[in-house]
Amino acid sequence: MIPGDAGGGRPGTYGGWSTTGGESPGTGGGRSRRRRLRLPIWVRGLRARLVIVCVLLAGLSALTAAGLIYRQARDLMLTRTEGSVVNEFRLRVATLTENMQHPPDRAALQQLANGVAPSFLEATGAAAYRDSGLIASGDDTGPITSALRRTVVERNRLFYQRVIRSGAPYLVVGTPVMLGKQAAPSGVEVYLVTPLSKEEGDEAALVTAAQNGAIPVVLLAVVLALVAARGVLRPVRDLDRAARRLGTGELDTRLKVSGGDELARLVKTFNATAAALETNVSELRGMEVKARRFVADVSHELRTPLASILVMADMFEEEAGRLESDLGKAARLMNLEVGRLVRLVEDLMEISRFDAGAATLILDEVDAADAVRACLRTRGWTGRVDLDLPPGIRILLDPRRFDVIVANLVGNALDHGAPPVTVRLRADGPDGAGDVVIEVQDAGKGVDPRILPHVFDRFSKADAARVRSEGSGLGLAIALENARLHGGSIEVANRVGGGAVFTLFLPRRAEAGGSSRDVVAGGSLRGMEAGEPPRDVADGGPSRDSVAGGSLRGMEAGEPPRDVAAGRSSRGLEAGGSSRGMDAGEPSPDTAANGPSRGAEAGGPARGLETGGPSREVEDR
């Protein structure tokens, strides 16, 4: 007879697995530590993050579902096994103890232990009387813990417990026995140890099934995430490509708007921004074209009247010695100021040619050292400059434009630096490769660091407070444009010991037929139709020396007049003619045919300009 309500009591927390080593049945498990998930540093793309989030959500959902299913199936399986074993155990104990004598002897206890252990369950039965040792049907009585025996005796009820011993799970059931019609416990205890290896295998199969079911779900989530990310990121990639095209100058770039979501609104905003940018840039380009055309037109308009004024200024200067002191000073001042104005107009015309893409190269192979010496000798600077010019460095360039570059760099050092001014020449790389490098350095105060980034800007001057100066502020800008026309560049820096150094880099062989980089958008300058050969390039424009700052230098007889600062030949100016440049299709006036140019005879500087009458030659003063 089994006493009491034999159905449900469990000592301690017997619902889960417990071990027999040192822990009582009431001992709980330890706490699991939370670990923060950290994504790798390389995961920065939106697509990767979308895929990772989708995979994590799908994996978490699959694991949660699998865990819940596993828990329910496991509990159901164990509950069914426990119920079957307990019911069978109760029935066998009741049958075997029905006619048992009290107190039982050892043989009766052995018979009871053997009888409660059915062979098909591979179970082990055990029986005991009061404090005597267990009498078992087998050797596997280790899972019967002292805690379970104490609970059975103290509470006088049936209890069962799942335990793990040596890595194997067992179900242990124990109950006290009432013999005969006794109301008090008889002291007889009966136990059954049933292995749960079959249930453990079924549990492992559940885990495998959960894993096998979660893996396809995660893979499907990856595929769906990639498809979703592709659909979401396609407009973003299109927007990225469009923004790149817009950044390269394709201002007519637009995107097709599809849908009405946030990305569609973003595309609409991009299109509106691109349209506004295109309009603003077009307006700015139009204003720039008009400004450049205005400068070119004004320069052309001023050439003829300036030629006449220059002739009269020369005449007044010649007579200055015979005039009163104030009139003589005024005549000399007028001649000086007219010369400045002429140089400014010619600089503006040269800049206009670069802007219009009309500047060209007339290439010739020269010795770089000889070309530098010729530039300095022509201007009388040889004694003022220290030279380090190794011979034998040949370079293919436009000699006139090279003369302009060197003259502007050396003249700038002489005017704004302090002696000694040094010009060094070297060649980088073997012959035919590398650049030819020319350094012009002085020992002055150097360039103000605030002005250093703007040295080559147009109308840039060392002292912005100077309203009047000898230079126009265009010399270095023209030098840089000429260097770029050759495929080279100019750099400027302050020396550690004081002074500035300008470094000219020119390729050994400039490209023949090169032209200036920037072309005026929207049409050609006045006086030049599209497709007409550029005027005032290599054949036109009044000759000058913008760097030296004095009167025009003399030329050898028969040598074509050269514009030293602008790199072009002199062209006669007809006073009394059209006040602007030539109309489209009008032939260029020939200097030799129309009258002597502002060139000179051999022996000294002279100016001869046609003024409506016979030309006037000014003798060397």
pTM of the model: 0.45
Local structure of 210: helix, strand or coil: helix
Return the higher-pLDDT residue of 550 and 423. Answer: 423
Q: Which residue, chain included where needed, has tokens 């570059």?
A: 405
Model pLDDT, residue 389? 94
pLDDT at 508: 87
For the chain, how big is the Rg over CA atoms in Å?
A: 53
Question: Model confidence at 540, in pLDDT bands (50, 70, 90)?
Answer: very low
**Average pLDDT of the chain, as a whole number:** 72
pLDDT above 90 covers a percentage of the chain that reads 18
Q: Quick one: which H or E segment has residue 127?
A: strand 124-129
CB within 8 Å of 431: residues ≥ 6 apart:
394, 508
What's CA 197's distance to the chain center, in Å?
62
Closest CA to 551 of 615, 620, 473: 620
Q: Whose CA is closest to 84, among 5, 175, 192?
A: 192
Domains of the chain: 1-21+40-249 (3.30.450.20), 251-359+571-621 (1.10.287.130), 361-514 (3.30.565.10)
Render pLDDT for 202-234 as a digit per residue (tens, 0 to 9): 888 888 887 787 788 888 888 888 888 777 778
Q: What is the pLDDT of residue 183?
A: 62
d(C-alpha 175, C-alpha 116), whole Å? 12
Residue 321 is predicted with a pLDDT of 73
Percent of the chain with pLDDT over 70: 71
Residue 280 has pLDDT above 60, yes or no: yes
Q: What is the reported pLDDT for 156?
A: 82
Residue 376: pLDDT above 80?
yes
Ramachandran sector of residue 218 (left: φ over 0; alpha: ψ -120 to 50; beta: rest): alpha
Model confidence over 14-49: pLDDT tens digits? 334 443 333 334 344 444 444 555 556 556 677 777
Inform me whether the pLDDT recorded for 465 exceeds 50. Answer: no
- Res 312: pLDDT: 82
In whole angstroms, what is the distance from residue 231 CA to residue 50 CA? 12
Task: Give the highest mean pLDDT range of 37-41, 76-80, 81-85, 424-428.
Answer: 424-428
What pLDDT sits at residue 217? 80
User: pLDDT-based confidence at 371, cuts 50/70/90?
Assistant: very high
User: Higher pLDDT residue, 564 or 325?
Assistant: 325
Q: What is the dihedral of CA 340, 342, 348, 352, to 10 degrees?
A: -160
- Asked if the model's pLDDT at residue 557 lies above 60, the reply is no
**pLDDT for the residue 545:** 36
